[in-house]
Structure 1
Amino acid sequence: MLKNYRMILEYDGTRYDGWQKQGNTDRTIQEKLERILERMAGEPLEIHGSGRTDAGVHALAQVANFHADVNLSEGEIKDYFNQYLPEDISVKRVERVHDRFHSRLNAQEKTYLYRIETADKKPVFERKYIYGLGKSLNVEAMKLGASLLIGEHDFRSFCANKKMKKSAVRTIKNIEFEQDGSRLLIRFTGNGFLYNMVRILTGTLIEVGEGKRKPDEIKHILAALDRSQAGFTAPPEGLFLEKVYYKE
């Protein structure tokens, strides 16, 4: 009998082409997981992630689920995955869930964390996990700009997919700033994010913090519905999928 399992995993996205499997590469998180699942279950099976992290983006708590008929406990399934996964992907937990649970469709909100180093050089051993901006920022101005992004908006200006035909309306619940020495941490929580959206939001807020844009320009960028009006796309190494929220 097929049983539905949810897994929580973390990964270093540095050497991967993102979460979603693609025909032209096997360097995706989904592909690595599904190959092991096929070996375990004896047949090809699909693993659904809560969202598609981009190439180079990391996850502290990605949520995924799959249906399989295996005679193993949750702990044994976790150990099986970790036995064969490379050292930059780790399954933290596996649990059986009700049959209708879907990691993406049932997700209520997600929090993404973006890490910026404002000192002149990145720490050597964290260089793959933080954006080395190398200059100070006016965080108060960034907070003012961020406040205009809260709520339900059409975020087309902050989406890198120019051909997207679906709705770009999303709700950002909050944007939090935390200063940790010379590091600035920004957390974005919302009900969903478009392609490159968090990185474009971050790049735009950085430009506000540098004084290249005024905070109230955010209103005009939102209204323009035009990607060219927003800021640069912040690089992937500073971005982490931190948490996925469900109703239960």
Structure 2
Amino acid sequence: MPRFALKIEYDGSPFAGWQRQADQPSVQGAVEAALARLEPGPHTIAAAGRTDSGVHATGQVAHCDLMRDWDPFRLSEALTYHLKPLPVAIIDCAGVADDWHARFTATERRYLFRLIARRAPLTVEAGGIWQVKMPLDVAAMQVGADHLLGRHDFTTFRAALCQADSPVRTLDELRIEKVPTHAGQLLHIHVRARSFLHNQVRSIVGTLERVGSGAWQPDDVRTALLARDRAACGPVSPPHGLYLAGVTYPDDPFRNA
């Protein structure tokens, strides 16, 4: 059975997350239903990361096995057509080896969190950015963020129901970028690691916002990390500012697609 890698973009607002659920809409369920319009199912696809309810993606990657040896471009076009009117699109497609796996072959995941500080309500980008009212001290936020770089026990920054075997992860990048905007203070928080714990990015961003607002000092982030206690974490940021921005593989399947 030919295997295909799919690069997927979606607005997570109407979904209860990536993972298929029996009684709620999911991105996985939507893509599998579209596949069933092309070939008899049932279909089961696997993704690089299971995004939570309300979280978006600009570079999610999944793989599927089909009976027909589709032209990748035609497959992406057909799937996107059958996904309408849902806010899901197949933005790239490539044939891959039978043992290639969207999750287990991946060597890195990249997330982007968008945060804006301004008093006026959002209009055009409502639902795609976390808005706070007061200006943020970006330099202090970066100092706090630097305490989290490297390999640590991230018990403080993972959900209580996280099912990962170990809380130890290596954070390769946690960078706060100031982005020009017509109104307010727009920040892009770039996070990069091989793998993440459940709610890790949102927990980190919520804590850094407390530093930016002045409620925490930068060194309080290190204290929270060393506590290895979920109760020491700052508030968890809302999901709508978070995007799965990309996945890295040893040999990029989309390079020549």
Normalising to structure 1: TM-score of the pair? 0.95
Structure 2: distance between partners of 1:244 and 1:224: 31
- Code of the residue aligned with 1:45 in structure 2: it is H
Structure 1: distance between partners of 2:120 and 2:159: 29
Structure 1: which 4+ aligned runs deviate by more than 2 Å? 161-165
- Code of the residue aligned with 1:85 in structure 2: it is L
Structure 1: distance between partners of 2:40 and 2:23: 24
Please name the residue that 1:60 is paired with: 58
Greater Cα shift, 161-170 or 100-109: 161-170
Structure 1: gaps of 5 or more residues? none
Contact 1:121 1:132 in 2 (8 A): no
Count of residue pairs brought into register by the alignment: 246
Structure 1: distance between partners of 2:54 and 2:26: 10
Identity %: 33
Alpha carbon RMSD of aligned pairs, Å? 1.3
Quickly say closer, same or farther: Cα 1:196–1:62, change in 2 above 3 A.
same
Structure 2: distance between partners of 1:164 and 1:61: 24
CA displacement at 1:123 relative to structure 2: 3.0
CA displacement at 1:39 relative to structure 2: 2.7
Normalising to structure 2: TM-score of the pair? 0.92
2:247 to 233, 244, 248: 244
Please name the residue that 2:213 is paired with: 210
Structure 2: distance between partners of 1:63 and 1:184: 25
Please name the residue that 2:163 is paired with: 164
Please name the residue that 2:124 is paired with: 125
- Code of the residue aligned with 1:10 in structure 2: it is E
Contact 2:211 2:217 in 1 (8 A): yes
Query: Deviation digits for residues 201-223 of structure 1, max 9, x if unmatched?
Result: 00000001111111112222112
Structure 2: distance between partners of 1:175 and 1:55: 23
- Code of the residue aligned with 2:165 in structure 1: it is K
Structure 2: gaps of 5 or more residues? 252-257
Query: Deviation digits for residues 183-231 of structure 1, max 9, x if unmatched?
Result: 0111111111111111110000000111111111222211222111011
CA displacement at 1:119 relative to structure 2: 1.2
Query: Deviation digits for residues 102-145 of structure 1, max 9, x if unmatched?
Result: 01111111111111111112430101100111211111111111
SS at match of 2:103: coil
Please name the residue that 1:96 is paired with: 95
Structure 2: distance between partners of 1:237 and 1:86: 21
CA displacement at 1:85 relative to structure 2: 0.4
